[in-house]
Amino acid sequence: MSLVHELEKEKHDSVMQRLDDLVSVYPFNEYEFLISSLMGYQKISTDEYYELRDDYIARNMFMYVFEISAPRGFGEAWAQGHLKEICPELIKPTKKLDPAYSGQYDFFLDGKIRIEVKASRAVDFDSREALYVKALSSDSKLRFDMNFQQVKPGCCDVFIWVGVWRDVIRYWVLSSNEVAGNKYYSAGQHRGNTGEGQIHVKDDNVSEFAQFESAPRALLDKIREAYERQKGA
């Protein structure tokens, strides 16, 4: 916007008036209008536009994830698909692979490790705007509260938590016992649902989960390590 204010008064007033009257229809919105206007008035060169574009994409690489509105579309379709891309070794369970399977966990590994996936997005806790508006970057100082819900430690061996920011995705791998015994785990999320709870990862406690965080390329090793901790407990 600072470049708009540097325009000659007549051009500035024209841009601001059209901006006030602008009707946005994807992909033509206020940002597209401002950038094209500034390029037309030669306030932004093509190279500067490319630099601006590349910088924006780098800072908002995962913004599209915040536009997924349906909880299952995010938690199941996106999160599980994302992990499957990173770790093709993760297998969708079936009764043939696990006769006791009845939909209670998400992935099977090494013919024995039952894995449950939980995902959440970092958004401004104090905002009531749409998800994509209040999406936070990883360096934000604003409050966030990622609530991992319907957590059932008795139904799996290992949990993978996926936390999404605008610019990064973080992964935590915990054994079921480590989740159930965590001081932030709250059992009894829904009345009558025995063995189910929730856990909040927030701006003021996320650092306490650092020991469980994993790089994408290390996820398989971290899953196997968590399984060994579970069985050795």
Q: Is the pLDDT of residue 195 over 80?
A: no
Q: Is the pLDDT of residue 191 over 80?
A: no
Of residues 91 and 32, which shows the higher confidence score? 91
Q: Is the pLDDT of residue 78 over 70?
A: yes
How much is the pLDDT for 27? 72
Of residues 196 and 220, which shows the higher confidence score? 220
- Is residue 166 a contact partner of residue 137, using CB atoms and an 8 Å limit? yes
Q: In this structure, which amino acid lies at residue 144? A: F
How much is the pLDDT for 226? 98
What are the φ/ψ torsions at residue 122 (nearest 5 degrees)? Answer: -85, 110
Q: What distance lies between CA 223 and its chain's CA centroid?
A: 20
Of residues 39 and 189, which shows the higher confidence score? 39
Tens of pLDDT along 96-143?
Answer: 999 999 999 999 999 999 999 999 999 999 999 999 899 999 999 999
How much is the pLDDT for 93? 96
How much is the pLDDT for 20? 85
The ranges assigned to domains in the chain are 2-59, 63-232
CATH number of 63-232: 3.40.1350
Pairing of strands 113-121, 197-202: unpaired
